[in-house]
Chains A and B, each alone.
Chain A
Amino acid sequence: MIVKDVVCPFCGCLCDDIEVEVEGDRVVSVCNACELGTTKLMGEKRMKGPILRDGDGWREITYDEAIRYAADMLLSAERPLLYGWSGTHGEAQCVGVHMAELVRGVIDNTSSVCHGPSILAIQEVGHPGCTLGVVKNRADLVIYWGSNPIDAHPRHLSRYTYYADGFFLENAFRDRKVIVVDIRKTETANIADEFVQIKPGGDYAVLSALRALVRGKGETIPRTVSGVTREQLIRVADLCKGAKFGAVYFGLGLTMTPGKYKNIRNAIELVSELSRHTKFTISAMRGHYNVYGSNEVNTWMTGYPFGIDYSRGIAFYNPGETTAVDILARKECDAALIVGSDPAAHFPRRCLDHLADIPVVQLDPYPNATTAFCNVQIPVAVTGIDAEGTAYRMDGVPIRTRKVLSTDYPSDEEILSRMYALMQEERER
């Protein structure tokens, strides 16, 4: 059977034009997706059922037992951490928020280790952005800053920017200019009309210089700024001002380098400044397919996009304090529920040391690096393959992922709802 218009549950591009061929309970071929998406849709070897750590080994347990274990763990904790959420659907994320509220824990998602700084910047100066189709149809200038879509978001260029068909561009491919700004010549830099190579840690200064140039106040700018010549800066500023529609897409190369959210703030303020001259927008290249959804869900339910601490009943938000990496590194939690992410693969050693010391339950279809730190792991259906639900694309467009095959695995939402029901019962007693 061939399923059309499938939504790819890999990266923030959330491509929804995938064709998948299914035989029985297996995906046998994938069309239109990039390599990353194809690999995810084809699946790997999944865990069969829930497992409980038993001495040095594992013991199989039932879903009921696993859910009970997690509920008890969260109820007895003084400061439980509920982390992950980017790799699951919105409906499950909503239950997660209710759980955090009930047990007075901390709920955080993976943006605290990717675009958290971008969110902090937006909270300072706002965000002039747009949906991806606006860029596709209009942009004659696209800037990739500290992002390398060819590697991380392979279809971004073909679906939304460089190679995409655009209503207002006669020959989109020829009419669009691309500027790449990075510390090294990436693969994306090879297709750029202008490549700006910045010394590591020098983005902020370059952005300040561009803002001054756009204002026509470039006289204080030295001969080179962070390795970029004054001449090139002037050329870039002129390209920006001369564009009919410019779009900046930035990645972790700008977000996670020295200055962090101040880099993003500076980039946003450059775009706001350019908006006085022409049309300009800026957007983050979000990683996980539904990390933006997790921000959205948290925001309408708690008021904050990530790093929410319910210890005191009301929502308290302070990234750097209430975010998973900080809490784990400071040993400030005493239990962890991990959903839809693999922190052990990304977190610093100090965090993992604490994860090893506290009880951990993980919901994940596959054995992963975090499995080694778990007391219990509960396998679930994969959203976009054998579970459906809402995901938010990197530009905020919500799309319902499709279920392309049926399995016996319960979805994240189902497991979490059962856990939450047990917890509510316990608390009401």
Chain B
Amino acid sequence: MSELLIRNACVIDPLKGINAETMDIAIRDGKIVEDVSSAAEVIDARGALTLPGGIDSHTHICGTKVNFGRYMSPEDMRAGRTSRCGPMHATSGYSVPTTYGNSYRYSAMGYTTLLEGAMAPLEARHTHEEFLYTPLQDTMANTLFDGNWGIMEAIRDGDTRRVAAIIAWTLQAVKGFGVKLTNPGGTEAWQWGKNVSCIRDPVPYFEVTPAEIITSVVEANEMLDLPHSVHIHANNLGTPGNYTCTLGTLGLIPDLNPKRQTLYATHIQFHAYGGSGWKDFCSKSEPIVRFVNMRPQIVIDMGQVMFGRTTTMTADGPMEFNLYRLHHEKWSNHDVELETGSGIIPVLYRRKNLVNSIMWAIGLELALLTESPWQCLLTTDNPNGAPFVKYPEIIALLMSKKYRDAEFATIHPDTESRVPLPAIERELDWYEIAVMTRAGQAKALGIQDRGKGHLGLGAEADVAIYPIRIDETDPSVDYERVIEAFSRTEYTIKRGRVVSRKGKCLVDGNNATFWVRPEVSDDYDMEKDPDFIEKFDRYYTVRMRNYPVQEEYLNRNRCIETEAEI
């Protein structure tokens, strides 16, 4: 039995409705409990800001595409190298760090749970292998279904239950957590070097539209009672004028689930562009947010861009090729048979570049204009908009108009006429930041019932204590202090154990992986479906029996079983 008592913590715990109360937190064997014995180890928080462990609901940290980003970027690797020291292994890399680099840096910032945003089912084993070497966070993976042949065929046949059945089989086989659609239909078209223009443009050969894919998969997702909603990277990412396509996509979504949103639309910044080309490129954050504010069934995340060098990586192959033609830097692409694809290129976001300046402003606008922080979560789509180590700066920008103005003065001068940002006065408070970095994530991912994202009794004892007193800090002025505090916790506690202290990781760690197994009836068990088996054998290059990810690849195996309607 291990016991820990955190005394004098200034707690913000939005899921439990606690806002800046000074209290003690008792922990026994990795869980939050009522009280502990006098033998418990004691940490005196001295009134410092104490939050549930941070959760990143959309980041790229593990798997084939991330690792290829590392593989092709020795110049990025040498930018952030540390030696082995105590229990910490050596790390390398800035925008695509090694797994240990990701884990240690996230831990120093108080993050204890990470969702890998895109896992190709065929290569899932790779993602899970890297999870094993991401020791200080619990992990889960969104599984890609955007170009899945079986699903597109079922949609063409009007059989949504079969769509659900294929998702169910695949999720349990690859130990996936959520359903991800990346440029639905576009990744299949890209295997012919083509793309889809928006949601009504049919996919070559399969003759289903992105809109049909989205609506069927959303319906199937709810049939399976999955904890998370469908997680979408909409069509047309990054193109001027794409906001109409984004609105069209969001408009497809009914409100189907009382517990959480029905659609999680990720990195919306990249989908909120006006203009007919790069010359009249402008922000369309306002129409997007107006739409979201009226629809509780939608949750978005920012996909904030920050200036500097980074690496873009996504399953959206055609989008990356367009970026390559724009920048003419190195370009990688990796199509995955019968399923999806991916692309990678390095980029440099420059303050002096008008388009980049507008992108920077749009992300902030989305967060500031969305009324409820539960509906707009803080991300950079790491590392696409910026490496996650920039989160503290983003928090400070959202909390301080003064800081925003100071930064605005350094960007391209024409930005002012293209974006609403300068007129926005709102400054987010500590509570709202806590929602946008943990509580909102837990709710959106549907893991608050698993003890994530809050400090209620029985919750996982994942706690972040930041070296800042909110009663003594005015974030709208002291934004430098805010940045410093969120960059390095005083203590990061994972499952009741101090894993990192003032930026130094103290233990080797042992992550848990959350995955979902929907229980379906025999009729919908694809394992026994002759047509599914026959197609698998003929067109995949891996045998069906060798496809599932074995449990050997899970460190702490946290299977979530759901009752499907099929």
Q: Is B353 an interface residue (CB 8 A)?
A: no
Q: Is B22 an interface residue (CB 8 A)?
A: no
CA separation between A137 and B332, bound complex, in Å? 21
Q: Once the chains bind, are A138 and B546 in contact (CB under 8 Å)?
A: no
Say which residue of B93, B125, B126 sits within 8 Å of A303 (CB atoms).
Answer: B93
Q: Once the chains bind, are B538 and A165 in contact (CB under 8 Å)?
A: yes
Q: Report the interface size for chain A: residues with CB under 8 A from the other chain.
A: 63
Taking CB atoms and an 8 Å cut-off, the chain A residues in 266-292 that contact chain B are 272, 275-276, 278-281
Taking CB atoms and an 8 Å cut-off, the chain A residues in 16-70 that contact chain B are 16-17
Taking CB atoms and an 8 Å cut-off, the chain B residues in 79-114 that contact chain A are 81-84, 89-93, 97-101
Chain B's interface size range is 35 or more
**Cβ contacts under 8 Å, A310 to chain B:** 90
Q: Is B542 an interface residue (CB 8 A)?
A: yes
**Cβ contacts under 8 Å, A133 to chain B:** 337-338, 539-542
Interface stretch (choices A77-85, A120-128, A185-193, A222-230):
A120-128
Taking CB atoms and an 8 Å cut-off, the chain B residues in 177-221 that contact chain A are 191-193, 205
Interface stretch (choices A208-216, A346-354, A373-381, A390-398):
A390-398
Q: Once the chains bind, are B331 and A272 in contact (CB under 8 Å)?
A: yes
Say which residue of A165, A280, A315 sits within 8 Å of B92 (CB atoms).
Answer: A315
Q: Is B514 an interface residue (CB 8 A)?
A: no
Q: Once the chains bind, are B126 and A396 in contact (CB under 8 Å)?
A: yes
Interface centre among A4, A126, A136, A303 (most CB of B within 10 A): A303
Taking CB atoms and an 8 Å cut-off, the chain A residues in 118-151 that contact chain B are 119, 122-134, 136-138
Q: Is A369 an interface residue (CB 8 A)?
A: no
Q: Once the chains bind, are A396 and B64 in contact (CB under 8 Å)?
A: yes
**Cβ contacts under 8 Å, B336 to chain A:** 130-131, 134
CA separation between A128 and B344, bound complex, in Å? 10
**Cβ contacts under 8 Å, B97 to chain A:** 303
CA separation between A317 and B93, bound complex, in Å? 12
Q: Is B345 an interface residue (CB 8 A)?
A: yes
CA separation between A101 and B84, bound complex, in Å? 7
Q: Once the chains bind, are A398 and B331 in contact (CB under 8 Å)?
A: no
Say which residue of B81, B125, B539 sits within 8 Å of A398 (CB atoms).
Answer: B125
Q: Is A102 an interface residue (CB 8 A)?
A: yes
CA separation between A278 and B191, bound complex, in Å? 10
Q: Once the chains bind, are A315 and B332 in contact (CB under 8 Å)?
A: no
- Interface readout for A244-259 with B: 1 if CB under 8 Å, 0 if not? 1100000000000000
Q: Is A5 an interface residue (CB 8 A)?
A: yes
- Interface readout for B540-552 with A: 1 if CB under 8 Å, 0 if not? 1111011000101
Q: Is A409 an interface residue (CB 8 A)?
A: no
Q: Once the chains bind, are B72 and A127 in contact (CB under 8 Å)?
A: yes
**CB nearest to A319 among chain B residues:** B74
**Cβ contacts under 8 Å, A132 to chain B:** 337, 541
**Cβ contacts under 8 Å, A317 to chain B:** 74, 77-78
Q: Once the chains bind, are B333 and A130 in contact (CB under 8 Å)?
A: yes
Taking CB atoms and an 8 Å cut-off, the chain A residues in 86-102 that contact chain B are 90, 94, 98, 101-102
**Cβ contacts under 8 Å, B99 to chain A:** 300-301
Supposing A160-B541, A300-B133 touch, asked if A314 and B92 sit within 8 A by C-beta, the answer is: yes
Q: Once the chains bind, are B331 and A126 in contact (CB under 8 Å)?
A: yes
CA separation between A399 and B123, bound complex, in Å? 9
Q: Is B479 an interface residue (CB 8 A)?
A: no
Q: Once the chains bind, are B543 and A5 in contact (CB under 8 Å)?
A: yes
CA separation between A94 and B189, bound complex, in Å? 37
Taking CB atoms and an 8 Å cut-off, the chain B residues in 132-165 that contact chain A are 133
**Cβ contacts under 8 Å, A399 to chain B:** 125, 542, 546
Interface of B is mostly: mixed
**Cβ contacts under 8 Å, A137 to chain B:** 337-338, 539
CA separation between A400 and B124, bound complex, in Å? 12
Q: Once the chains bind, are B205 and A168 in contact (CB under 8 Å)?
A: yes
Supposing A4-B545, A301-B100, A314-B82 touch, asked if A130 and B335 sit within 8 A by C-beta, the answer is: yes
CA separation between A7 and B550, bound complex, in Å? 15
CA separation between A279 and B189, bound complex, in Å? 10
CA separation between A398 and B89, bound complex, in Å? 25
**CB nearest to A295 among chain B residues:** B71
Q: Once the chains bind, are B331 and A128 in contact (CB under 8 Å)?
A: yes
Q: Once the chains bind, are A302 and B98 in contact (CB under 8 Å)?
A: yes
Q: Once the chains bind, are A123 and B332 in contact (CB under 8 Å)?
A: no
- Interface readout for A346-385 with B: 1 if CB under 8 Å, 0 if not? 0000000000000000000000000000000000000000
Supposing A131-B122, A133-B539, A317-B77 touch, asked if A396 and B334 sit within 8 A by C-beta, the answer is: yes
**Cβ contacts under 8 Å, A123 to chain B:** 71-74, 330
Q: Once the chains bind, are B71 and A275 in contact (CB under 8 Å)?
A: no
CA separation between A71 and B64, bound complex, in Å? 33
Q: Once the chains bind, are B125 and A400 in contact (CB under 8 Å)?
A: yes
CA separation between A305 and B545, bound complex, in Å? 30
Q: Once the chains bind, are A299 and B545 in contact (CB under 8 Å)?
A: no
Q: Once the chains bind, are B83 and A134 in contact (CB under 8 Å)?
A: no
Q: Once the chains bind, are A299 and B71 in contact (CB under 8 Å)?
A: yes
Q: Is B418 an interface residue (CB 8 A)?
A: no
Q: Is B349 an interface residue (CB 8 A)?
A: no
Q: Is B528 an interface residue (CB 8 A)?
A: no
Q: Once the chains bind, are B192 and A244 in contact (CB under 8 Å)?
A: yes
**CB nearest to A296 among chain B residues:** B67
Q: Is A313 an interface residue (CB 8 A)?
A: yes
Q: Is B68 an interface residue (CB 8 A)?
A: yes
**Cβ contacts under 8 Å, B546 to chain A:** 5, 7, 16, 399-400
Say which residue of B125, B191, B335 sits within 8 Å of A390 (CB atoms).
Answer: B125
**CB nearest to B539 among chain A residues:** A167
CA separation between A119 and B337, bound complex, in Å? 23
Q: Is B438 an interface residue (CB 8 A)?
A: no
Closest Cβ–Cβ distance, residue A11 to chain B (whole Å) = 14
Q: Is A159 an interface residue (CB 8 A)?
A: yes
Q: Is A173 an interface residue (CB 8 A)?
A: no
Q: Once the chains bind, are B129 and A390 in contact (CB under 8 Å)?
A: yes
Interface centre among B100, B192, B334 (most CB of A within 10 A): B334
**CB nearest to A392 among chain B residues:** B126
Q: Is A163 an interface residue (CB 8 A)?
A: no
Supposing A314-B82, A397-B122 touch, asked if A90 and B129 sit within 8 A by C-beta, the answer is: yes
**Cβ contacts under 8 Å, B98 to chain A:** 299-303
CA separation between A304 and B325, bound complex, in Å? 27
**CB nearest to B61 among chain A residues:** A300
Q: Is B403 an interface residue (CB 8 A)?
A: no
**Cβ contacts under 8 Å, B430 to chain A:** none
**Cβ contacts under 8 Å, A280 to chain B:** 193
Q: Once the chains bind, are B192 and A279 in contact (CB under 8 Å)?
A: yes
Q: Once the chains bind, are A303 and B72 in contact (CB under 8 Å)?
A: no
CA separation between A94 and B133, bound complex, in Å? 9
**Cβ contacts under 8 Å, A131 to chain B:** 122, 334-337, 541
CA separation between A160 and B324, bound complex, in Å? 28
Q: Once the chains bind, are B541 and A400 in contact (CB under 8 Å)?
A: no
- Interface readout for B329-363 with A: 1 if CB under 8 Å, 0 if not? 01111111110010011000000000000000000
**Cβ contacts under 8 Å, A159 to chain B:** 541
**Cβ contacts under 8 Å, A303 to chain B:** 70, 74, 77, 81, 91-93, 97-98, 101
Q: Once the chains bind, are B345 and A315 in contact (CB under 8 Å)?
A: no
Q: Is B130 an interface residue (CB 8 A)?
A: yes
CA separation between A16 and B333, bound complex, in Å? 25
Q: List 6 A-B contacts (CB under 8 A).
A: A127-B72, A129-B334, A130-B341, A279-B191, A302-B98, A397-B541
| New A-B contacts (11) at CB < 8 Å, excluding given A119-B71, A123-B71, A130-B337 | A4-B545, A130-B334, A133-B541, A134-B337, A272-B331, A301-B99, A303-B93, A304-B74, A313-B84, A390-B129, A400-B550
What 9 A-B pairs have minimum CB-CB distances, sorted nearest first? A133-B337, A303-B92, A313-B83, A279-B193, A303-B77, A126-B330, A130-B335, A314-B81, A126-B332
Chain A residues at the B interface, C-beta cutoff of 8 Å: 4-5, 7, 16-17, 90, 94, 98, 101-102, 119, 122-134, 136-138, 159-160, 165, 167-168, 244-245, 272, 275-276, 278-281, 295-296, 299-305, 310, 312-315, 317, 390, 392, 396-400
Chain B residues at the A interface, C-beta cutoff of 8 Å: 62, 64, 67-68, 70-74, 77-78, 81-84, 89-93, 97-101, 122-123, 125-126, 129-130, 133, 191-193, 205, 321, 324-325, 330-338, 341, 344-345, 538-543, 545-546, 550, 552
